[in-house]
Amino acid sequence: MTEAATANAETPTQSNETSNVNEIGDAPAHYCSPSESESGSCVPLSESQSELLEEPTSATLVEAKIGCFAKYLTVWVALAMFAGTLIGSLVPSIPETIEKATVANIWIPGSVLVWIMVYPMMLKVRWSALRNVHQNPGGLLLTTFINWAVQPFLMYGLARLFFTIIYSGIFSDEKQSEYIAGAVILGGSPCTAMVFVWAGLINGDVNYTLVQVVLNDILLLFLYVPTAKLLLNISTIELPWDTVYLSVVLFVLVPFVLGTITQFVVLRRPNGEQLLMRIEDYFSPIASLALVLLVVFIFLSQAKVITDSPTDVLLVAVPLILQTSLAFFLTYGLAYYFCLNHLIAGPAALIGSSNFFELAVALALTVYGPQSGAVLVTVVGVLVEVPIMLLEVNIIKRSKQWYNNRAEDEHRKFKRRTTDMTGRAVTTGPTG
């Protein structure tokens, strides 16, 4: 991964110095907005912490050392998409074989690839930051609001706009209804596994990411089905519990336990921090390779859908891409407005715009059957997920300096206002 290991280039001393900035829950974890500064409800960064942001980041050092594979990851993913589609079309027996390794609509070898991608991120989880997450809840509140109060309804509105109005002369009424249902099922399920991968690519705060994913998994049990019933006016929707529980265990619990055990064993040894960093460095290129292989298998398994209905796939992809993009820019823009730390703003935007496609496919199969348009929509969601999220990763990385410049400007304004208020207090104070 391009920047999954950026934190590894820091020395132990640097990690201690910057922990107050990087870990959620350690105040001050973000710059203050003007309203927060004036009201005194937020503590700005100290002088030393502000200076740290002006120093060359470890990401710059890592960027100079990575090979062409990680640097051009987007190119490799595009080639993987083409290769997977080509192989699946020419050798249809391969997708059939892959299907046999599926349990509850979750491809088990794919889960192993996800472990390899998520494991380096889990090595950065710190229990102290997890315990203190309530001290800085801005990212959690923002992403939870987007995931459950905005994303499902935005997807429903776009689906109706495209499938009943823009595409009215293309699809039959039955197809329109099925495509809308599939879009709602997909848009109402926040992502569980791959967000760790995307957060790693931007060197985001893994502690926040883990807590947000766990929170979404809990809320999903109570809000997902009622939201789908409300939008689709269906009285009989049963959540595929085997898919839900297996996804949480495979994609969250297993890599978290592996990372925790590794930390426990390694940090007990002399120079444990340096050894842990070397492990992260070792897994970083392997994780990038695992992502490319996963993309190959995704497109390989869906090659028949792509080749049999290319026009439908392209038309369905438009509202899905638009919904993901709008949710991303809305979340990232609000994070910028509220001056959230960029380490949290990036993962928040990625989680706010991604979907739990394994669950969506399983639910569409259960409710509408394998030949329905609803299943096609969820499958297209799988196909567009990776390239769109990589584009979002690139936007977050390129806008980091712009984001931090604005935060520094807010900090300087706060200091000037504080100085002016102090000066007026001294001038008007008692003279006796």
Given a cut of 90, is residue 412 above it in pLDDT?
A: no
Q: How many CB atoms lie within 10 A of CB 301?
A: 22
Residue type at position 285: P
Least confident of 15-24, 109-118, 323-332: 15-24
Read off φ and ψ for residue 311, nearest 5 degrees: -65, -45
- The answer to whether position 423 is within a domain reads no
Q: Who contacts 384 (Cβ-Cβ below 8 Å, separation ≥6)?
A: 317, 320, 321, 324
pLDDT at position 128: 64
Given a cut of 70, is residue 1 above it in pLDDT?
A: no
pLDDT at position 105: 67
- The answer to whether position 426 is within a domain reads no
Secondary structure of residue 43 in the 3-state scheme: coil
Mean pLDDT across 236-252: 71
Given a cut of 80, is residue 30 above it in pLDDT?
A: no
- The answer to whether position 424 is within a domain reads no
CA distance 303 to 379: 11
Q: How many CB atoms lie within 10 A of CB 99?
A: 10
Given a cut of 80, is residue 337 above it in pLDDT?
A: yes
Higher-scoring residue by pLDDT: 44, 186: 186
Q: Who contacts 326 (Cβ-Cβ below 8 Å, separation ≥6)?
A: 154
Q: How many CB atoms lie within 10 A of CB 324?
A: 25
CA 291 to chain centre: 14
The pLDDT confidence band at residue 377, using thresholds 50, 70 and 90, is very high
Residue type at position 304: K
The pLDDT confidence band at residue 3, using thresholds 50, 70 and 90, is very low
pLDDT at position 317: 95
- The answer to whether position 13 is within a domain reads yes
pLDDT at position 326: 96
- Under DSSP, the state recorded for 246 is H
- Under DSSP, the state recorded for 103 is E
Given a cut of 80, is residue 250 above it in pLDDT?
A: no
- Under DSSP, the state recorded for 133 is G
Given a cut of 50, is residue 5 above it in pLDDT?
A: no
The pLDDT confidence band at residue 86, using thresholds 50, 70 and 90, is very high
Mean pLDDT across 105-119: 78
- The answer to whether position 422 is within a domain reads no
Strand locations in 137-296 (E)? none
Q: What are the helix (H) ranges across 91-205?
A: 93-99, 108-122, 127-131, 138-145, 151-160, 173-187, 194-201
The pLDDT confidence band at residue 129, using thresholds 50, 70 and 90, is low
- The answer to whether position 23 is within a domain reads yes
pLDDT at position 54: 43
Q: For residue 217, which of 147, 162, 163, 267 has the smallest C-alpha distance?
A: 147
Q: Which domain holds residue 319?
A: 6-416
pLDDT at position 409: 77
Strand locations in 187-297 (E)? none
pLDDT at position 332: 95
Given a cut of 70, is residue 163 above it in pLDDT?
A: yes
CA distance 213 to 143: 10
As a dihedral over the C-alpha atoms of residue 94, residue 100, residue 105, residue 108, rounded to 10 degrees, the angle is: -90
- The answer to whether position 425 is within a domain reads no
CA distance 90 to 406: 52
Task: Kindly tell me the burial class for residue 300, based on how many C-beta atoms sit within 10 Å of its own C-beta (0-12, 13-18, 19 or more).
Answer: buried
Q: What is the torsional sign of CA 15, 17, 21, 25?
A: positive
CA 257 to chain centre: 20
What tens digit of pLDDT does each residue of 51-61 get?
Answer: 444 444 444 44
Number of domains in the chain: 1
Task: Kindly tell me the burial class for residue 68, based on how many C-beta atoms sit within 10 Å of its own C-beta (0-12, 13-18, 19 or more).
Answer: exposed
Q: For residue 43, which of 416, 415, 405 has the smallest C-alpha distance?
A: 415
Residue type at position 63: E
CA distance 383 to 320: 11
Secondary structure of residue 432 in the 3-state scheme: coil
CA distance 374 to 63: 42
The CATH number of the domain holding residue 367 is 1.20.1530.20
pLDDT at position 28: 39
CA distance 67 to 88: 29
- The answer to whether position 427 is within a domain reads no
